Amino acid sequence: MALVSPLCPAQDPQAESAPMPYKSKPVPQLKQPAPFPLDPSPLAKGLTIEVRTPDQMIEKDRLFETDAESSIAERAGFADLEFNAGKWGYRQLVCPDFPNHLFLRFTRDNGVGDQSVFSASIPRNGQGHVRIIPILRRSYSLFSPAPINTITIAAFNRIRNEEQAESPQSWVGTALCYAALAGANPVAVPANDASIQGGFPRASEPQLDVPLQGHGIISSPEDEDEVIRVADASARPNANLLIMTFTKNGRLLKVKHEPDYVGQPKPVPTGPPPAEKPVPGTVAAN
């Protein structure tokens, strides 16, 4: 026992009760979901949606259109667009933020007061369905104006879910593409770019409103939404403002379409200035 004791030091009772120290790891900060990246140069992908004639389209896209004609005709028939009557033409709407979809605008022009228009979405990767967005039937809106129509909003949400693009969509490109699918020829013009302003009416600069996180300001789910404001400077005689509200998970919730009052000129008063009137109880200075 005398030989073993040095190898077994006496145990401290307090040491036995002390907890073993644990290695602490920093907890990563939770990232709030957001529908769009905060791109410092949101207009880098272009200020407008390019419109191509069938001759300007690549051969692969023309084949997509040919293969989808029967589905387009069937869905246009559900909306009573008379696709099998009269002569229809189409143009491609080039949306860089939606590379996995082919967007087309079909038109039939029978003269003033008799124009029919709808947009069609064709998935390029086979992940989705052919969809149409009614705009006009014989110059009348089928339900309500396409930019604010719940059918347009629902179709757009399904298209975004089908997209599965490798890179996230920019907020400006998304807004311009929605406007094009709803029947506009959108042009977003930065307010401080005089070289682009030429030929277009003055318009509001594109704007993205994001919620203030972590400051105790958000009090309801609506306060977490992101809002895009983009003016279509191609609209005549005044630019139109498109206001799109997205949830934090990326679903388009609602859309407002109204005149862009920033671009409307204000009358300047003319003639001599009004005569000054003395204020009662004061003495005029010499």
pLDDT exceeds cutoff 90 at 200? no
Q: What's the mean pLDDT when you consider all of the chain?
A: 79
Closest C-alpha among 263, 175, 187 to residue 226: 175
Q: Would you state the pLDDT for residue 216? A: 45
Percent over 70 (pLDDT), the chain: 68
Question: How much is the average pLDDT of 204-216?
Answer: 72
Partner residues linked to 286 by β-bridges: none
Closest C-alpha among 223, 237, 165, 146 to residue 173: 165
Q: Would you state the pLDDT for residue 28? A: 55
Q: If 0-12 CB within 10 Å is exposed, 13-18 middle and 19+ buried, where does residue 283 land?
A: exposed
Between 125 and 177, whose confidence is greater? 177
131-186 tens-digit pLDDT: 999 999 888 887 778 999 999 999 999 999 999 888 888 898 899 999 999 998 88
**CA atoms within 13 Å, Cβ hemisphere of 250:** 19
Q: Would you state the pLDDT for residue 44? A: 47
Element (H, E) at 117: strand 115-123
Question: How much is the average pLDDT of 58-86?
Answer: 92
Question: How would residue 193 be classed by pLDDT, with cut points 50, 70 and 90?
Answer: low
pLDDT exceeds cutoff 90 at 88? yes
Q: How far apart are CA 70 and CA 231, in angstroms?
A: 35
183 neighbors 255 (Cβ within 8 angstroms): no
Q: Would you state the pLDDT for residue 69? A: 94
237 neighbors 250 (Cβ within 8 angstroms): no
33-62 tens-digit pLDDT: 677 877 655 554 457 889 999 999 999 999
Give helix 171-181 / helix 150-163 axis angle, nearest 10°.
Answer: 130
